[in-house]
Structure 1
Amino acid sequence: MRALVAALVFLLPALMAGPVYSQNTENAQRSALMVVDYDALLSASEYGRSIIRGIEAQNVALSNENRQIETRLEAEELALTEERETLSAEAFREKAGEFDAKVVALRRQQDEKAQNLARLRDTEQQRFYEEVFPLISQVAARHGIEVVLNKGLVLMSLEGVDRTTEVIDLIDSTLLPASDNDNR
């Protein structure tokens, strides 16, 4: 029994390690699988960055609008506070209630705009990946790849199985308008 356990202790790691250490880049390039960094497709391709820039521009515009509203409301609040001394308690309560209702309505309106923008971002990302999927398939077919994995889910891969750069180049050459391609 001890001999069997000892043999397993020494033999099992050697059997398991053999294939891992014998792989090289040449074998990886003939692999039936490839990895693609899906996040990099969006963030590193010019086409993806153009989508991100469009969303970011809308985010900046909404932030600017929020600051303008905040400045305007602060001025109204200050004016109401100064006016308090000249108003009866009932008149002040009425004006303060109107102001509070206005603040709540504006906050609700701006929150809705932010939620719509978040939905737009998600929709645009989904549309991007739907447009890119056939291009990933095209690269896979070109190399005889049977399995495509998201690099973010892979613990380790050899350089030769990562086709992210190739897919990014195909995205930009296929999906960018011709004028954008000429300016790269």
Structure 2
Amino acid sequence: MASDLSKEGVFDKAVAAIKQAKAAGFAVYTNSTFFNTDTPESVIEVLDFLNDELKVDRLEISPAYAYEKAPDQDHFLGVEQTREVFRKAFADGRRKRWRLNHSELFLDFLEGKAEFECTPWGVPSYSLFGWQRPCYLMGDGYAKTYRELLEETDWDKYGRGKDPRCDNCMAHCGYEPTAVLATMGSLKQSLRAVTG
């Protein structure tokens, strides 16, 4: 489950920390990022381990995004590869057995059953530098205030077909907000979200 790029011993330390947190009564959420070295089988293995063995309370997943500062630019998933991996990993109703912390429509999006535009302002990121524009995956500078971020960022210039850096992005930070908005705007999808 650990990639070739991981540091020795980090996985074991993370597992021990999760077990300790669960034993102390904390809710534990994980965020697993998948790369082009992953297969449907490795996705299933990771999610089964987190869900069934570690009993993590909620699991988040995302295809890796080729952000500019990433030291390794060779292992990011493209859109079609992402859809194929998740379509196969979620087959036979498997996605319903995991405690995934995602809307049904975002999971449909990962499988290629739904198409959305990015909502880059949906998960704003703040650090010592300020509010990152347009999302935490891109380095287009920082705004000093939240108002400045919202009012002075040209949100319409980001997303697939608008900015080449966005062409292979399917990350949850931009597409889960869109899926949630689509769910809230549809009685059918809202009922689906409640009933699972």
TM-score interval (norm. to shorter):
under 0.3
**Greater radius of gyration (CA):** 1
Name the structure with the higher strand share.
2
The structure that is helix-richer by fraction is 1
Relative contact order (C-alpha < 8 Å, sep 6+): which is higher?
Answer: 1
